[in-house]
């Protein structure tokens, strides 16, 4: 998070704000239930076009406005959305979705043709959807998106009739129903898009099919949603109005929550980090595992990081538990794999833990006993207080345990991205948030041709295992292949150094709000949230 107008993390500021927030804790109270849920949603949404958005704040709003074939419930499970049911062919490559009778918010029927045409739009190069690659599991979708194929009828999406959509995939994709809950798979009202162009997402023009309608949108202030009376299960939606506030500053968000002006903070970036140890003791603080990993990348094209023994030594010398206890303090878990635990049916391999003796031995074996002769390295991170603290801690650990010198370099976000993506770094801080509950969302990043690899690393056996996994139908066997591939990544080769698994953090009073549940995807659909009645709240009060 960027802090303007003062030195990031300066002691004076921290002391002042921390003191102020501590006093605020004592005043933290909540208002009686109303018909309006006020949510602090994070930064101003870049767009509300479900096919071009990339961030969580936009995603939350879009999932309230549009519903795909499937949806997520409050537990993060994939449940039927507009599709009443679906079937999969024995080879796992063909999905047939049967749509329920539903309509757009203007009353016009929502058909399978709408879905096919919407997915075509998402794949059109001119739309330039940054998440279009989520559809690449569909036959010929990648070729169409990259302009190599002009005829959409060659793409594996077909509306058999108004209520049946058939999708042909390039291989068995057991997580495809979960993909269908992603915003880019949502239907969009193409007639409205054609009529209004870029303005179609504005209030009064936007037509959706989700539980809520766009009532108003005051830029960088608030988005107001009202219940959609034409939503197919509108009787289950219990809060008539949602106000999503655009707030980027943690202290402002907390002030609004503490003074009762907001009911719910959903964005992890809006929790004052220096204040976490106090905040965690409060009854309204809720944290849960989240499908995201904080890790360091090694540029394996530069010596001495081209030697796996060196990379292993660097990984073995990091005491993640201590880092989490002393630096992050937000309920994170130490990471020894890239994939976070919790994905159904998948146990990630346990990578290298803290073993300083073995780290020193490996470094000596690589030709640097006691760190002698080890060339100076630079650790790159994007400017943020927490990244700096972690980097400083790890720099000290490597100096103490391995006797090597690593200098720190921080860069502003866009400059940092440029450095990482052009391999102009030696060690770089990174993170990855899973898009769906499957290890492939993480492991696919380190394929040779993946644009998200950014390490220069590739491994034939890893490629083979992942390729094999994409054509394996049996879930158990497929996950075993992915497990083996991840073992190469975090036990043998280590182009990355996993540090911790993020936790999703929310602030809300359990006695006031219901329908929110911790889940790995950090999905909390508005349609499931409700206000507890006063009597229920009273009886729930300790």
Partner 1 sequence: MLAFLLRRLTGAVPVLLGVITITFFLVRLAPGSPFAGERAIPPAILQELEARYKLNGSLWEQYTSYVSDVLHGDLRLSTRYRNRTVNEIIGQTLPVSLTLGGSAFALALGFGIAAGVWAAVRHNRTADRLVQILCLAGISIPSFVLAPLAVLLFSLHWRLLPPGGWGSFRELLLPASCLALPYAAVVARLTRASMLEILPMDYIRTARAKGLPAATILFVHGLKPASLPIVAYAAPLAANLLTGSLVIEEIFGIHGMGSFFVEGVLSRDVFLVAGVTLVYSALLIGFNLLADLTSAWLDKRVQLS
Token readout for 28 is 């933290």
Residues 128-157 that bind partner 1 (CB under 8 A): 128-133, 145-147
The answer to whether residues 318 and 497 touch, using CB atoms and an 8 Å cutoff, is yes
Decide: is 1 part of the binding site for partner 1 (CB under 8 A): no
Pick the closer one to partner 1 by CB: 101 or 199.
199
Q: Which of 195, 392, 413, 533 is close enough to bind partner 1 by CB under 8 A?
A: 413
Decide: is 541 part of the binding site for partner 1 (CB under 8 A): no
Decide: is 421 part of the binding site for partner 1 (CB under 8 A): yes
> 244 in the Ramachandran plot: left (φ > 0), alpha (ψ -120 to 50) or beta?
beta
Q: Which of 62, 245, 359, 529 is close enough to bind partner 1 by CB under 8 A?
A: 245
Decide: is 8 part of the binding site for partner 1 (CB under 8 A): no
Pick the closer one to partner 1 by CB: 252 or 396.
252
Decide: is 207 part of the binding site for partner 1 (CB under 8 A): no
Decide: is 220 part of the binding site for partner 1 (CB under 8 A): yes
Choose one: 8-16, 305-313, 330-338, 477-485; the region binding partner 1 (CB under 8 A): 8-16
How far is the C-alpha of 516 from the C-alpha of 518, rounded, in Å?
A: 7
Closest CA to 316 of 371, 362, 379, 370: 362
Q: Which of 12, 107, 460, 476 is close enough to bind partner 1 by CB under 8 A?
A: 12
Q: What is the dihedral of CA 42, 335, 471, 125, to 10 degrees?
A: 30
Residue 261 C-beta: closest distance to partner 1, Å: 6
Q: Inter-axis angle of helices 356-365 and 308-316, to 10 degrees? A: 160
How far is the C-alpha of 391 from the C-alpha of 403, rounded, in Å?
A: 16
Residues 443-462 that bind partner 1 (CB under 8 A): 450-452, 454
Decide: is 376 part of the binding site for partner 1 (CB under 8 A): no
User: DSSP characters for 56-110?
Assistant: HHHHHHHHHH---SEEE-TTS-EEESSEEEEEE-TTS-EEEEEEPS-B-TTSPBP
Residue 412 C-beta: closest distance to partner 1, Å: 7
The answer to whether residues 382 and 413 touch, using CB atoms and an 8 Å cutoff, is yes
Choose one: 79-87, 284-292, 370-378, 416-424; the region binding partner 1 (CB under 8 A): 416-424
Decide: is 372 part of the binding site for partner 1 (CB under 8 A): no
Q: Which of 11, 150, 219, 535 is close enough to bind partner 1 by CB under 8 A?
A: 219
How far is the C-alpha of 139 from the C-alpha of 172, rounded, in Å?
A: 11
Pick the closer one to partner 1 by CB: 16 or 474.
16
Pick the closer one to partner 1 by CB: 125 or 370.
125
Pick the closer one to partner 1 by CB: 53 or 69.
53
Decide: is 410 part of the binding site for partner 1 (CB under 8 A): no
How far is the C-alpha of 275 from the C-alpha of 98, rounded, in Å?
A: 49
How far is the C-alpha of 210 from the C-alpha of 346, rounded, in Å?
A: 32
Pick the closer one to partner 1 by CB: 111 or 454.
454
Q: Which of 87, 218, 234, 301 is close enough to bind partner 1 by CB under 8 A?
A: 218
Decide: is 415 part of the binding site for partner 1 (CB under 8 A): yes
Q: Which of 84, 96, 238, 249 is close enough to bind partner 1 by CB under 8 A?
A: 249
Q: Which of 194, 281, 414, 476 is close enough to bind partner 1 by CB under 8 A?
A: 414
Token readout for 445 is 């990043």
Decide: is 238 part of the binding site for partner 1 (CB under 8 A): no
Q: Residue 164 is inside which H or E element, if any?
A: strand 164-168
How far is the C-alpha of 42 from the C-alpha of 255, rounded, in Å?
A: 14
Closest CA to 278 of 26, 11, 102: 26
Q: Residue 18 is inside which H or E element, if any?
A: helix 11-27
Pick the closer one to partner 1 by CB: 431 or 539.
431
> Which positions ≥6 away from 221 have C-beta within 8 Å?
245, 246
Choose one: 176-184, 195-203, 391-399, 530-538; the region binding partner 1 (CB under 8 A): 195-203
Residues 259-288 that bind partner 1 (CB under 8 A): 259, 261
Pick the closer one to partner 1 by CB: 376 or 451.
451
Closest CA to 378 of 289, 438, 298, 485: 298
How far is the C-alpha of 181 from the C-alpha of 348, rounded, in Å?
A: 24
Bridge pairing between strands 377-382 and 406-411 = parallel
Q: What is the dihedral of CA 330, 334, 338, 344, to 10 degrees?
A: -80
Q: Which of 54, 87, 234, 282 is close enough to bind partner 1 by CB under 8 A?
A: 54
Q: Which of 251, 387, 441, 519 is close enough to bind partner 1 by CB under 8 A?
A: 251
Size of the site for partner 1 (CB under 8 A): 67
Decide: is 248 part of the binding site for partner 1 (CB under 8 A): yes
Pick the closer one to partner 1 by CB: 86 or 442.
442
- Spell out the alpha helix ranges (H) of 137-292: 141-145, 176-179, 190-196, 250-258, 276-279
User: DSSP characters for 110-132?
Assistant: P-HHHHHHHHHHHH-GGG--TTG
How far is the C-alpha of 389 from the C-alpha of 386, rounded, in Å?
A: 5
User: What is the distance, to the nearest Å, from the Cα of residue 352 to the centroid of all Cα atoms in its chain?
Assistant: 25
* Site for partner 1, rule CB under 8 A: 2, 4-6, 12-13, 16-17, 20, 23-24, 27, 43-44, 46-49, 52, 54, 125-133, 145-147, 198-201, 218-221, 245-249, 251-253, 255-256, 258-259, 261, 412-415, 417-418, 421, 430-432, 450-452, 454
């Amino acid at each position: 998070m960027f802090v303007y107008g003062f030195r990031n993390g300066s002691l004076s500021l921290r002391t002042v704000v921390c003191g102020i927030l501590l006093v605020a804790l004592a005043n933290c109270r909540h208002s009686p239930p109303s018909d309006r849920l006020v949510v602090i949603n994070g930064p101003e949404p870049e767009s509300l076009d479900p096919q071009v958005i990339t961030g969580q704040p936009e995603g939350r709003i879009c999932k309230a406005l549009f519903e795909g074939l499937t949806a997520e419930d409050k537990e993060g499970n994939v449940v039927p959305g507009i599709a009443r049911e679906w079937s999969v062919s024995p080879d796992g490559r063909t999905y047939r979705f049967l749509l329920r009778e539903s309509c757009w918010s203007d009353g016009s029927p929502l058909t399978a043709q709408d879905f096919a045409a919407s997915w075509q739009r998402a794949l059109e190069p001119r739309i330039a959807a940054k998440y279009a690659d989520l559809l690449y599991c569909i036959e010929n979708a990648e070729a169409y998106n990259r302009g190599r194929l002009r005829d959409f009828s060659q793409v594996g999406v077909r509306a058999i009739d108004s209520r049946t959509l058939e999708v042909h995939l390039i291989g068995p994709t057991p997580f495809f129903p979960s993909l269908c809950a992603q915003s880019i798979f949502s239907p969009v009202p193409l007639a409205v898009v054609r009529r209004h162009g870029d303005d179609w997402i504005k209030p009064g023009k936007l037509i959706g099919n989700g539980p809520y309608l766009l009532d108003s949108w005051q830029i960088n202030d608030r988005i107001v949603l009202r219940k959609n009376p034409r939503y197919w299960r509108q009787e289950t939606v219990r809060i008539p109005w949602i106000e999503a506030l655009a707030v980027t500053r943690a202290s402002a968000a907390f002030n609004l929550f503490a003074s009762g002006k907001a009911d719910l903070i959903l964005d992890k970036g809006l929790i004052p980090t220096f204040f976490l140890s106090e905040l965690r003791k409060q009854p309204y603080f809720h944290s849960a595992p989240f499908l995201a990993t904080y890790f360091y990348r090694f540029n394996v094209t530069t010596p001495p990081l081209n030697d796996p023994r060196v990379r292993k030594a660097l990984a073995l010398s990091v005491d993640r538990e201590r880092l989490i206890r002393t630096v992050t303090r937000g309920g994170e878990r130490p990471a020894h794999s890239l994939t976070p635990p919790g994905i159904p049916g998948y146990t990630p391999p346990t990578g290298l833990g803290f073993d300083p003796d073995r780290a020193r031995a490996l470094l000596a074996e690589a030709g640097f006993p006691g760190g002698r002769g080890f060339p100076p390295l630079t650790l790159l991170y994007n400017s943020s207080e927490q990244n700096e603290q972690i980097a400083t801690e790890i720099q000290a650990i490597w100096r103490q345990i391995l006797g090597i010198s690593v200098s720190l370099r921080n860069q502003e976000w866009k400059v940092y991205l440029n450095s990482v993506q052009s391999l102009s770094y030696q060690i770089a801080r990174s993170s990855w948030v899973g898009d769906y509950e499957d290890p492939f969302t993480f492991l696919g990043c380190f394929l040779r041709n993946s644009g998200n690899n950014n390490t220069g690393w590739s491994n034939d056996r890893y490629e083979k295992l992942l390729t094999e996994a994409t054509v394996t139908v049996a879930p158990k066997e497929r996950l075993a292949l992915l497990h083996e591939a991840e073992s190469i990544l975090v036990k043998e080769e280590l182009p990355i150094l996993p540090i911790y698994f993020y936790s999703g953090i929310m602030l809300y009073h359990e006695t006031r709000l219901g329908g929110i549940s911790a889940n790995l995807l950090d999905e909390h659909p508005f349609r499931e949230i409700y206000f507890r009645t006063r009597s229920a709240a009273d009886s729930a009060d300790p």
